[in-house]
Structure 1
Amino acid sequence: MCSYCGCQSIDVIGRFTAEHEEIINATGMLRRAAQAGCTDEVAELVDEVAGLLTPHTDAEEVGLFTVLRRDEDFTEYVDALCGEHVTLDELLERIRAGESDLADRFYKELRSHIEREEDGLFPASLTTLRGDDWTEVDELTAAASPTSPLASP
């Protein structure tokens, strides 16, 4: 995970990064359960991953992504990340439906996606957004529903 630019000092970026770690950890357990053929555990872990992933991606898209995509330099990149969110959701649904062999692919695509956010978009947001922009990101993110279990009250 990124730690070189200081973007994690921005509350919402720090939150998203912490959520990434939780999602990756849960996905690692899902991947191991799938490899071991533990069908019941896979089903439980799919629900756990979805319970972390869905509010996280909703908050990213409603807050940070909404504000960043207004800048034409970011529109295509943000749209691609949103498309990856859809792909991840679809893969997770297929795993839930019994295609547990996709857990490894899901894990790899999730890691790649998170790297694109943490090593690309998050540092770029630090240099692009200003005070009012961050206030708007915070307000929009707080309004995202449902909220992540890691979101501050």
Structure 2
Amino acid sequence: MCEHCGCRGVPPIAELMDEHLALLDEAHRVRRALGASDREGAFARLGDLVRHLAAHVRREEDGIFAALRADGEFVDEVDRLEGEHRGFDAAIAALDVDAADLEARVSRLFRELDDHVERENLGIFPVSVVTLGATGWELVDRAHAETPTFLSDRSAAP
């Protein structure tokens, strides 16, 4: 994760980046459970990840993405990222604990999540810092207030 551009100095962006790290940690725990042939445990951990991902996505889309869209900035990239969010929902909904290819599907899903997180952290977040004005940041702050971070949720811990 990039630490050079200074966007971590903007609290809403830093919090979204911290949520990304927590989501990737949760994905690792799901992978570890699958590697130990604990499909039921993996699905329980996946449930936590899904709940946290839903809150995170809502904060991004109602905040940073909506603010960029309102400014007419980077709309194509915002559309792609939101499409990927829908794709994650569909891929997760299609997972079956008894499927022979469960590990392969989860692995593919988490590789896509890794790539998505990197594109947000290194792309849309830094550009939002230099693009959004006061009205945009008010929208971001409102979205974050309406959907608080999951980081204080005890189930996010190992």
TM-score, with length taken from structure 1 = 0.89
Aligned length: 149
* Conservation of the 8 A alpha-carbon contact between 1:27 and 1:107: yes
Partner of 2:149: 148
Identity %: 32
Shift of residue 34, structure 1, vs aligned partner: 2.1
Shift of residue 143, structure 1, vs aligned partner: 2.0
| Residues 95, 37 of structure 1: alpha-carbon distance in 2 compared, 3 angstrom cutoff | farther
TM-superposition CA deviations, 1:37-62 (whole Å, max 9, x none): 21111110110111211100011001
* Conservation of the 8 A alpha-carbon contact between 1:67 and 1:133: yes
In 1, Cα distance between equivalents of 2:143 and 2:41: 35
Shift of residue 95, structure 1, vs aligned partner: 2.6
Q: Structure 2: which amino acid aligns with 1:108?
A: R
* Conservation of the 8 A alpha-carbon contact between 1:46 and 1:95: no
What secondary structure, in the 3-state scheme, does the structure 2 residue paired with 1:148 have?
A: coil
Q: Which sits farther off after the overlay, 97-106 or 61-70?
A: 97-106
What secondary structure, in the 3-state scheme, does the structure 2 residue paired with 1:95 have?
A: coil
* Conservation of the 8 A alpha-carbon contact between 1:34 and 1:42: yes
| Residues 98, 59 of structure 1: alpha-carbon distance in 2 compared, 3 angstrom cutoff | farther
* Conservation of the 8 A alpha-carbon contact between 2:39 and 2:97: no
In 1, Cα distance between equivalents of 2:42 and 2:71: 40
Q: Structure 2: which amino acid aligns with 1:150?
A: L
In 1, Cα distance between equivalents of 2:57 and 2:10: 18
* Conservation of the 8 A alpha-carbon contact between 1:12 and 1:138: yes
Q: Residue 104 in 1 paired to residue 107 in 2? A: yes
Shift of residue 98, structure 1, vs aligned partner: 4.1
Q: Residue 2 in 1 paired to residue 5 in 2? A: no
TM-superposition CA deviations, 1:57-76 (whole Å, max 9, x none): 01100111001012434111
Any gaps of 5 or more consecutive residues in structure 1?
none
Q: Structure 2: which amino acid aligns with 1:132?
A: T
TM-score, with length taken from structure 2 = 0.86
Q: Which sits farther off after the overlay, 38-47 or 86-95?
A: 86-95
Shift of residue 26, structure 1, vs aligned partner: 0.4
* Conservation of the 8 A alpha-carbon contact between 2:63 and 2:141: yes
In 2, Cα distance between equivalents of 1:20 and 1:78: 17
| Residues 44, 96 of structure 1: alpha-carbon distance in 2 compared, 3 angstrom cutoff | farther
Equivalence map 1:25-104=2 (5 Å) = 25-95=25-95, 98-99=98-99, 100-101=102-103, 102-104=105-107
* Conservation of the 8 A alpha-carbon contact between 1:68 and 1:75: yes
